[in-house]
A and B are shown apart, each in its own frame.
Chain A
Amino acid sequence: MAGTNIIEVRNLCKNFGNLQVLNDISADFKEKQVVSIIGPSGGGKSTFLRCLNLLETPTSGKIIFDGVDLCSKIDINEQRQKIGMVFQHFNLFNNMNVMKNLTVAPMRIKGMDKEEAEEKAIGFLKRMGLEDKVDSYPSQLSGGQKQRIAIVRSLMMEPSVMLFDEPTSALDPEMIGEVLDVIKQLAKEGMTMLIVTHEMRFAREVSNRILFLDGGKIDEDRPAAEFFDDPHSPRLISFLQKVL
């Protein structure tokens, strides 16, 4: 895939106390690429993703987003607006209804006026079939609905890349499909995405490229099709045997 690098990770290390979670990771992510990150629990997948928007501060190394070194003295809030993030536990703002959840950031941060923001929100909600939920509070929604709203909340900021941190891990099985469908749709529309997931079939179907992260290192980095059919690393082979 041709295209410019949107994220460049250079020699990224992250320690929690004495525990080294990420060990010298370097990788490039291109525009419009959909990359899945899989691996065993505790392998550093989520930490890696959370380093990319500096929710975790790297111990050493560089994250270059769209030409900007995020670890240097820049306004990180400004960069974060362009990096959407979707969490395992949704993290919708519990004190706001759906409409407020979607419009608060565009209005407060981007200075979008209320009507424009609401119109945009309604547009997204209609596409998801959730327009009847505008006035609901997060506690009144199902997990699948919350996660789709959380995705819309990120999209409202028109990010140039979206990070998904195990978006379906906290969902009941019958709700996983509706969330994955939304992500697939985004992939089709050319959104750049990094997805930490345990859904192997989905990873294979949606992504161009898959990383296997184990022991804080990238153990395998291949195009999606080859990844499952022709794995090289012995760790990956034994991992795939267990999960497939």
Chain B
Amino acid sequence: MGFFEQIIVIIDRYSIYFLDGVKNTLIIAALSVVLGAVFGTLMAIMRMCRIRPLRWIATAYIEFVRGTPLMVQLMFIFYGLPMVGITFPDVSWIPNFSRFMAGVVAMSINSCAYVAEVIRSGIQAVDEGQMEAARSIGFKYGESMRLVILPQAIRNILPALGNEFVTVIKESSIVSVIGISDLMYGTNGVIALTYRSLPCLAIAACIYFILTFISSRLIALLEKRMRHGRN
């Protein structure tokens, strides 16, 4: 049997493994990005605020998380935290909820640090003169931010945030090591059943590519619409 025939047969017989994996991968990625964006925004605000201790905490967090492997963070949360008595609760009607939560939390913690940096650099990339002009005309700091700085910063932030989403989809493959049935986990399952690793991995790679490609196209489209009528 040739390579492509093998692929067709595998897809035909085991598509349920892949599809189930895609579903979980997307759920984990989406939850992580949303949580990462929300907490990343808070972290970015802390990083830029005037209260020094908050700034230090945020800076330390961001530097530490970006400077350690996601794999270590994931292991730390899944194996490490229960040893000091912190466990994620089980929910009876969602299978493997605690395992799943550990994955989402680890991914979010990681993504949060990157998002915070994206937001901070997006805001700081706006010309200082914009803030000065807004303040000199009599706007308060908050109003200046809302009316002048953030609308301009969004256009810097959005493309980078899109990249972050694409990264999270790819990186989420790592949660398979703690037994979450994502796309990578499903792929390993099919390999174990068929002993045909090459076609299985090719299928997985294609699916990951389709997911990231669609996401990055959608983001590009969104960017284009936001730029409409400007520049």
Contacts and interface: CB of A to CB of B under 8 A. Distances in A.
A183 B137 CA distance: 18
A104 B136 contact: no
B152 interface: yes
Contacts of A211: none
A83 B231 CA distance: 30
30 contacts: A55-B132, A55-B135, A77-B138, A77-B139, A78-B138, A80-B135, A80-B137, A81-B137, A84-B137, A89-B127, A91-B127, A91-B129, A91-B130, A92-B133, A93-B130, A93-B133, A93-B134, A94-B130, A94-B152, A105-B137, A105-B138, A108-B139, A109-B137, A109-B139, A137-B231, A139-B230, A150-B133, A153-B137, A154-B137, A157-B137
A53 interface: yes
Interface string B122-156: 00000101101111111110010001100110000
Interface of B: 127, 129-130, 132-140, 143, 147-148, 151-152, 229-231
Contacts, number: 65
Given A91-B132, A93-B130, A93-B134, A108 B143 contact: yes
A105 B134 CA distance: 9
Contacts of B135: 55, 77, 80
A154 B133 CA distance: 10
Interface string A81-104: 101110101111111100000001
Contacts of B151: 95
Contacts of A53: 136
Contacts of B231: 137, 139
* Max count, chain B CB within 10 A of own CB: residue among A92, A94, A96, A104: A94
Interface residues of A, number: 28
* Max count, chain A CB within 10 A of own CB: residue among B136, B137, B139, B230: B137
Contacts of B147: 93, 104, 108
A127 B30 CA distance: 54
A80 B229 CA distance: 32
Nearest to B137: A105
A226 B88 CA distance: 82
Contact of A80 (B136, B148, B152, B230): B136
Contacts of A150: 133
A108 B152 CA distance: 19
B27 to A, nearest CB: 35
B114 to A, nearest CB: 25
Interface string A106-130: 0011000000000000000000000
B136 A85 contact: yes
Contacts of A108: 139, 143, 147
B216 to A, nearest CB: 25
Given A77-B140, A85-B136, A93-B148, 8 more contacts: A85-B133, A87-B133, A95-B148, A95-B151, A96-B148, A139-B230, A139-B231, A153-B137
Contacts of B132: 55, 87, 91
Nearest to A150: B133
A154 B132 CA distance: 13
A139 B227 CA distance: 13
Interface string A55-96: 100000000000000000000011011011101011111111
Contacts of A137: 229-231
B138 A81 contact: yes
Given A93-B148, A139-B231, A105 B136 contact: no
* Max count, chain B CB within 10 A of own CB: residue among A95, A96, A150: A95
Nearest to B149: A95
B55 to A, nearest CB: 20
Contacts of B130: 91, 93-94
A55 B139 CA distance: 13
Contacts of A109: 137-139
A104 B151 CA distance: 14
Contacts of B229: 137
